[in-house]
Amino acid sequence: MQVALDQAREGRMHILGEMAKGLGTVRPEMRDTVPRVITIQIPQDKIGAVIGPGGKMIREITETTGTKIDIGEEGLVKVASTDAVAAQRAVDWIRGLTAKAEVGVVYDGKVARVVDFGAFITFLGQQDGLCHISELAEERVGKVTDVVKEGDQVKVVVLAVDDRGKVKLSMRGVDQETGELSEVERRPPPPRRDGPRDRDRDRPRRVRSE
């Protein structure tokens, strides 16, 4: 009996020792299937962009990613999911909707609409910018549809953002495969001459004969 008790004690002490090793170690990250809640802060003026008209946008995010999203009045967003990849996808989606375009940064975009003078491209979630026909390619472009069509996935760089939030984009100098940016020469546009004085100046003058 004493031998059996001693063996049981040794086995118990061995198990407790192995458990102690694990208790002092913190896992660097959770398993992908562990339920989690990711919290991010967004500007209050961007809450409407995440919710969308009638809640359309937030429904699309939750249905597409399979996550649950709660947005507080102060802009605190909680994304709950049992899938790490899905949770991160939802977080990236929300950040894209609330981020501000930065000049000189390359973004992935989608051609939303093609017009005679260029293409409107959606990037950073729901932000739109204009890529003028002169900024579609290095060479001269005859028609916009020679380079891009609606629905095309493109990489663009932000050239400027005006006071009203309008974004000027460019595909020139952006490697469409890698997104690497190279320097290109941009000449300032010629001055406009559409005023009445300019028109009068361009007209041939009549000389009165005595």
Instruction: Label residue 109 by pLDDT band (50, 70, 90).
Output: very high
The 8-class DSSP code of residue 150 comes to: T
- In the three-class reduction of DSSP (H, G, I as helix; E, B as strand; rest coil), residue 39 is classed as strand
In angstroms, the CA 29 to CA 35 distance is 12
Instruction: Label residue 70 by pLDDT band (50, 70, 90).
Output: very high
Q: Where exactly are the structural domains of the chain? A: 36-98, 106-170
* Burial (Cβ within 10 Å: 0-12, 13-18, ≥19) of residue 136: buried
In angstroms, the CA 96 to CA 126 distance is 8
Q: Is the pLDDT of residue 206 over 70?
A: no
Q: Which CATH superfamily is domain 106-170 in?
A: Nucleic acid-binding proteins (2.40.50.140)
Q: What is the pLDDT of residue 145?
A: 94
**pLDDT digits over 14-57, tens only?**
787 777 766 655 555 656 566 789 999 999 988 998 998 999 99
> What one-character-per-residue DSSP string does 158-194 give?
EEEE-TT--EEEE-TTB-TTT--B-----PPPPPP--
**CB-based contacts of 115, cutoff 8 Å, min separation 6:** 144
**pLDDT digits over 178-203, tens only?**
888 887 776 655 555 555 555 555 55
The radius of gyration of the chain from alpha carbons, rounded to an integer in Å, stands at 30
In angstroms, the CA 155 to CA 175 distance is 8
Does the domain at residues 36-98 carry the CATH identifier 3.30.1370.10?
yes
In angstroms, the CA 49 to CA 28 distance is 34
In angstroms, the CA 23 to CA 202 distance is 87
Q: What is the pLDDT of residue 96?
A: 83
Q: What is the pLDDT of residue 210?
A: 47
Question: Position 126: which residue type?
Answer: Q
Per-residue pLDDT, averaged over 138-145, amounts to 92
Instruction: Label residue 163 by pLDDT band (50, 70, 90).
Output: confident
